[in-house]
Structure 1
Amino acid sequence: MLTTTEAVTGAHLKRAIETRDGGSLASFYADDAVMRIVDEDNPPSHPREIRGRPAITAFWDDICGRTMTHQVDTLVAEGNRIAFTQACAYPNGSKVLCSGIVNLKDGRIAEQTMVQAWDH
Structure 2
Amino acid sequence: MITKTKPVTGAAIKRAIETRDGQALAGFYADHAVTRIVDRNNPPSRPREIKGRAAIAAFWGDICGRAMTHRVDTTLADGDRVAFTQACVYPDGAKVFCIALLELKDGLIVDQTIVQAWDE
Distance 1:4 1:92, change over 3 A: closer
Residues 47-79 of structure 1: CA distance to partner in whole angstroms, max 9, x if unpaired? 000000010000000000000000001110110
Q: Which runs of 5+ in 1 are unaligned?
A: none
Aligned residue number for residue 45 of structure 2:
45
Q: How well do the aligned residues superpose, as a CA RMSD in angstroms? A: 1.4
Ranges of 4+ aligned residues in structure 1 off by more than 3 Å: none
Aligned residues: 119
Letter in 2 for 1:76: L
Partner Cα separation in structure 2 for residue 26 and residue 119 of structure 1: 27
Question: Are 2:34 and 1:34 aligned?
Answer: yes
Query: What amino acid does structure 2 have at the position aligned with 1:62?
Result: D
Instruction: Give identity over the alignment, percent.
Output: 68
Q: What is aligned with 2:20?
A: 20
Distance 1:64 1:6 in 2: 20
Looking at structure 2, the residues matched to 108 and 11 of structure 1 have their Cα atoms a distance apart, in angstroms, of 14
Name the aligned partner's letter for residue 47 of structure 1: P
Alignment of 1:97-116 (within 5 A): 97-116=97-116
What corresponds to 1:119 in structure 2?
119
Answer yes or no: is 1:81 the counterpart of 2:81.
Answer: yes
Q: CA deviation at 1:6?
A: 2.8
Q: Which amino acid aligns with 1:113?
A: T
* TM score, norm. by length of structure 2: 0.95
Query: Which ranges in structure 2 are unaligned for 5 or more consecutive residues?
Result: none
Q: Distance between the aligned counterparts of 1:5 and 1:66, measured in 2?
A: 23
- Partner secondary structure for residue 93 of structure 1: coil
Amino acid across the alignment from 1:57:
A
Closer, same or farther: CA 39–4 of 1 in aligned 2, 3 Å: closer
SS of 2:56's partner is: helix
